[in-house]
Amino acid sequence: MDERLKVSLSGWQLDNPIIPASGTFGFGYEFTEFYDINILGSIATKGTTRDPRFGNPTPRIAECERGMINAVGLQNPGIDKVISEEFAKLKQVYHKQVVANVSGFSEEEYVECAKKMDAQDIVGILEINISCPNVHGGGMSFGVCPEAAAQITKAVKAVTRKPVYIKLSPNVTDIVAIAKACEEAGADGISMINTLLGARFDLRTGKPIIANVMGGFSGPAIKPVALRMVYQVYEAVKLPIIGIGGIACAEDVIEMMSAGATAVEIGAENLRNPYVCKEIIERLPSLMDELKIEKLSDIIGRAHQ
């Protein structure tokens, strides 16, 4: 383990800043056939809701230039099974804490899931995904309105002791206003960005490729958007940021941390190359030597200096 790679998220020390992103790494143990997952800084577990969800109808994946669109729809076995079955399997092979990703369709659902996750030893940080449709509010996302984002943050903070990171949607006009609202409501950190919205159509039939028509667009193509938003939010709030969006190599990690991220999550690239997180962790020390970086924590937000 290279000490130079260590970073700290809300007092929690990570061996390195590399975290597979929620929804692209299952519950973690599935990747043990590829490598020892204990080399990872942490793992962001699959988005968990109160009730089991089958997700959206298929087909729900479409490839794009430099990325992909997915409309999986939060498929998961529900919070109780995640804790009793998925976490039990993960604990057998993984000896660190995880970033537990929680989604909901109402404030009550977020609160219930957060409370249950907070009680788990394996959970180091709660990552609250506020980019889901709020079915009680006419199908709007909690994450596109500062007031709604603040309301969820406040409600979750009231029932948890562990750090709460709010995962922001990029599908907004002003991401800074949402980040500030979360900070004022007591968030401990920000995860950003979630997927952009995209669509693809079949050339022969003209029909949408994804049954849902639209889905979350991710992959290397969105990196400049993610970098821009991380940079803007770092300027505006005093919270640690987990940078997400288009990261596919060690160079991308350095760039994202320069913009203001303390740690990074790697999403779509796991689906293309299951070894990517391992490769990045192995490559970082030599890249740091090339770039004359003494330790990774030194470069966080250096673009702002």
Catalytically active residues, by annotation: 132
φ and ψ of 155, to 5 deg: -65, -40
List the structure tokens of 67: 């990325």
Report phi then psi at 59, rounded to 5: -70, 145
Give backbone dihedrals phi and psi of 20, rounded to 5 degrees, phi first: -60, 135
Token pair, residue 153, equals 């943050």
- The answer to whether the CB of 242 falls within 8 A of the CB of 192 is yes
**Most distant CA atoms of the chain, gap in Å:** 55
Give Cβ neighbours of residue 133 (< 8 Å, ≥ 6 apart). Answer: 105, 139, 140, 141
* Nearest-angstrom CA–CA distance, 253 and 264: 7
> Backbone phi, then psi, for 88, in 5-degree steps?
-60, -45
